Amino acid sequence: MLAIASQRVPDGTFVQGDGLTLPFADDSFDRVLAGHFYGHLDATQRELFVREARRVATELVVVDASLGHSEVEEEWAQRILLDGSNWEVYKRYFTPDVLLSEFGGGEVLHTGHRFVTVRSPG
């Protein structure tokens, strides 16, 4: 994916890293945006990610699946990819209040049936 991205955006910078130990210096960015990533982390991993996001940026924005879209708060679900491989994936669904609680405050940017978006200052 990085090779393809580099070909499509030759002047871009692409970095492979671990979201729980971000490979960037403190205060490197204005914002970290997590799009449908946060909900695949368990509670301990979410704490680590929030700590890392706050270390490298002054603002955290999370877009993830809404609890309104699911009958359960969390689940392990089977995913079969186009190559036929079969994966068991953890998924957590959120209300804006739960996200704000996990971030220690912030503001709701969107709440809907399919997804929620919350912004939290670092």
pLDDT, tens digit, for every residue of 42-99?
Answer: 999 999 999 999 999 999 999 999 999 898 999 999 999 999 999 999 999 999 999 9
Q: What burial class does residue 49 get, using C-beta atoms within 10 Å of its C-beta: 0-12 exposed, 13-18 middle, 19+ buried?
A: buried
Report DSSP state, residue 7: H
Distance of CA 66 to the CA centre of its chain: 13
Residue 35: pLDDT over 90: yes
Of the candidates 4, 54, 63, 7, the residue with the CA atom closest to the CA atom of residue 31: 54
Number of residues that this document lists for the chain? 122
Q: Is the pTM of this model over 0.85?
A: yes
pLDDT in tens, 1-33: 899 999 999 999 999 999 999 999 999 999 999
Domains defined for the chain, CATH in brackets: 32-121 (3.40.50.150)
